[in-house]
Amino acid sequence: MSVASHLREPLVTGGNPKLADITDAVVAPMENKPTKLWWLAFIPAATLFVLGFSTMGYQISEGIGTWGLNKTVGWGWDITNFVWWVGIGHAGTAISAILFLFRQRWRTAINRSAEAMTILAVICAAIFPIIHMGRPWFGWWWFAPLPNMRGPLWVNFRSPLLWDFFAISTYFSISCVFWYFGLIPDLATFRDRTNHKIKKLIYGIMSFGWNGSNRDWSHYEIVYGILAGLAAPLVLSVHTIVSMDFATSVIPGWHTTIFPPYFVAGALFSGFAMVMTLLIIARKTQKLEHIITINHIDNMAKVVLATGMLVGLAYSTEFLIGWYSGSNYEGFIFFSSRMKGPYAWAYWIMITCNVISPQIFWVRKFRRNMVLVFVMSIFVNIGMWFERFVIIVTSLNRDYLPSSWSMYSPTWVEVLEYGGTIGFFFTFYLLFVRFLPTIAIAEVKSVAAYAQREEHAAAGSTGAAAGVLSPAPAAPKEEASHV
Amino acid sequence: MSSAVATHDTSDAVSKTRELFVGIFTEEHQLMSVAKDATDSGHPVHDCYTPYPVHGLDDALGWKRSWIPYASFCFGMFGLSLAFGLQVHSQFVDFVPLWKGWPIIIGGKPFLPWPAFIPVFFELTVLCTGHLTVLTYFIYRRLFPGAKVKVHIDGVTDDRFAIALDPESEGFDEEQARALFAKHGCSEILTVEGRA
């Protein structure tokens, strides 16, 4: 029998696998002992995690003076890392929500791990604003009224920094709910197949008593749709608001109208790059190449190409406005400070990694070359980190008064803290891969079944006639089971 | 099979366990056709059990669309009002008695700059709608951490599809039900006990 569509390649390859085969493939890493490769990745990641977080403890006890910031450059690696991580945290919910609303069925193979990535990335992001406060135990005054002699002194709701607090916390909690809501049916799948007593108990608690009832599914799908509908504009709002932290200021290089769409495009760009980095490794090591197919990587490379060019357009628009506005300060930042100034090397790394090198994805052969795509995804991650560094540091280090001009370089504390978040990210991603289904089993099954359904419809058998056409079993087996 | 004889008091069905007459199928389209056929011919369908959401099954069973979106809308309105109240109260007025507000001039901006309030309007609307919708679903469907599985049928979370008839309801006829299941390619018939 031919495949359902001749125009598109099947979403799940490997000769139309049976539903049970999909379950087997996805839960295999949860049932087997971790491989040597897993330990090889886990040990360095966990070490980095512990080291970085100990450094944060040192920084909190000693103070912000342990960082390389000065009066002129008041934001350095801290906010660079924050924006970088938030950007990475965008792809997960974009894949889950926006692609869901556009009925992009290929999302099913990658949405689960992308969502896990989102949650971890947002945690990493949130660490930096918290530790950059210096005294994080006063952090709750971001919300509560400050006690003082005169009365409740509330936070300023006209400030984008406060909007950011609301945006990030909403995004984080909604992403967690969205992710876990999707996990429940798959946790039940694992609960029902494992024979391990402790695992059965734990996954039993975690799966909320799910039993595949259509009464549950019927409302579940609606709720999932609502969550997707909420999360889609939420994704766009988060980086829009992050960009307003800069755009509403009066600093040349930050005071830019194009920032919101520019930041959103950049966030999707870096987010998809990080998803590719992780999935290219995961599909290989977990033997999931028939579920996360080469077409998935191809599609993501196209998204990276498109968003990369949007980012390139934003860069050039900034230059246009720097010239067209006639503002000397704007012009100076873009044409002198960034292109030729002391941090020009960072600027050119950014241009090379974000605008020039992704152009190779115009070629289909390159999009389907896993080694090349992997290397490119790392390039994009580096380029996007430098983008934030360039925006923050090159705008600050050349002040309005040349007497205030200053240079900034990070101390070992900042470097280790950044490393610590990377360690945290990979440590928990690796644990996720070990203990939770990395692929949305139920959703992939519905996609795999989609092809069969079309095939079935094409055969002209619908409704009640289906039973007549399908091979009739000799006689139903009889059995009674009591649970 | 004799186990399908009605013995329970159906008026108290929620709290009691009861037996269900279950047909197992291996293909989605078989379940679709049996669900439609059973509904049309008046068999008392209790529920279906599937490894993934089968689209069109609700229509086949004649079920109505979920009411949850209406609740979501209310939650959204609640979130929006909360955001409005919070911002207007904290920046402008004090409508909570004995808790004096302290409007502050910042950068010469007005006290009620509504465009500046939009981001928080949006975020709190989304926050309340998302969380309360999911909570409503869990409470309504009695799903919570550690909840017992109400009806357990082997394989329906993996690769099998099941339809459950309620033998205690009016219109149930075991012989006809068997014939119906067989007609649509049933692979196995079970009697499953569960808290319906």
Confidence tier at A462 by pLDDT (50, 70, 90): very low
Mean pLDDT score of chain A, rounded to an integer? Answer: 84
CA separation (Å) from A176 to A74, A79, A231, A280?
32, 23, 11, 24
User: In chain B, what are the domains?
Assistant: 13-50+156-195 (3.30.70.790), 68-140 (no CATH)
Q: What is the pLDDT of residue A470?
A: 37
Distance from CA of A56 to the nearest CA of B (A): 30
Say yes or no to pLDDT of A66 above 60: yes
In sign, the C-alpha dihedral spanning B40, B42, B46, B49 is: negative
Percent of chain B with pLDDT over 70: 86
Q: What is the pLDDT of residue B42?
A: 82
Q: What is the pLDDT of residue B10?
A: 40
Element (H, E) at A409: none
Note whether A214 contacts B: Cβ–Cβ < 8 A.
yes
C-beta separation of A470 from B30 below 8 A: yes
Percent of chain B with pLDDT over 90: 20
Which homologous superfamily does the CATH classification assign to the domain defined by A19-448?
A: Formate dehydrogenase/DMSO reductase domain (1.20.1630.10)
Say yes or no to pLDDT of B2 above 60: no
CB contact under 8 A, B150 and A211: yes
CB contact under 8 A, B1 and A478: yes
Q: For the residues A364-388, what does the mean pLDDT come to?
A: 92
Q: Return the residue of B nearest to A156 by Cα.
A: B91
Q: What is the pLDDT of residue A479?
A: 46
In sign, the C-alpha dihedral spanning A211, A214, A219, A224 is: positive
Amino acid at B145: P
Say yes or no to pLDDT of A478 above 50: no
Confidence tier at A451 by pLDDT (50, 70, 90): low
Say yes or no to pLDDT of A314 above 90: yes
Residue with tokens 């695992």: A199
Q: What is the pLDDT of residue A361?
A: 93
Ranges of beta strands (E only) in chain B are: 17-25, 45-49, 161-165, 188-195
C-beta separation of A409 from A265 below 8 A: no
Give DSSP secondary structure letters for A51-99: HHHHHHHHHHHH-GGGS---SS---SHHHHHHHHHHHHTHHHHIIIIIH
Burial class (CB in 10 A: 0-12, 13-18, 19+), A93: buried
Residue A380 to residue A131: CA distance in whole angstroms: 27
Percent of chain A with pLDDT over 90: 41
Confidence tier at B150 by pLDDT (50, 70, 90): confident
Q: Return the residue of B nearest to A449 by Cα.
A: B28
Range in A422-426, A428-432, B58-62 the model is least confident about: B58-62
Say yes or no to pLDDT of A471 above 90: no
A158, A209, A213 ranked by CB distance to B49: nearest:
A213
CB contact under 8 A, A227 and B133: yes
Residue A80 to residue A82: CA distance in whole angstroms: 5
Residue with tokens 């309620």: B166
CA separation (Å) from B116 to A24, A34, A398, B84?
51, 51, 30, 12
Q: What phi and psi, each to the nearest 5 degrees, are found at residue B45?
A: -80, 125
Say yes or no to pLDDT of A260 above 80: yes
Percent of chain A with pLDDT over 70: 89
Q: What is the pLDDT of residue B99?
A: 57
ipTM (interface pTM) = 0.85
Say yes or no to pLDDT of B190 above 80: yes
Q: For the residues A191-219, what does the mean pLDDT come to?
A: 88
Phi-psi sector, B167: left (phi>0), alpha (psi -120 to 50), beta: alpha
* A307 vs B58, more confident: A307
Confidence tier at B172 by pLDDT (50, 70, 90): confident
Show which of residues 270-299 on chain A sit within 8 Å of chain B, judged by CB atoms.
none
Cα B27 from chain centre = 24
* A2 vs A169, more confident: A169
Q: What is the pLDDT of residue A469?
A: 34
Say yes or no to pLDDT of A261 above 50: yes
Q: For the residues B54-73, what does the mean pLDDT come to?
A: 88
Task: Among A57-66, A106-115, A458-467, name the most confident range.
Answer: A57-66
Mean pLDDT score of chain B, rounded to an integer? Answer: 81
Confidence tier at B1 by pLDDT (50, 70, 90): very low
Note whether A229 contacts B: Cβ–Cβ < 8 A.
no
Say yes or no to pLDDT of A351 above 90: yes
CB contact under 8 A, A479 and B129: no
Range in A14-28, A61-75, A224-238, A322-336 the model is least confident about: A14-28
A145, A188, A219 ranked by CB distance to B157: nearest:
A188
Q: What is the pLDDT of residue B127?
A: 95
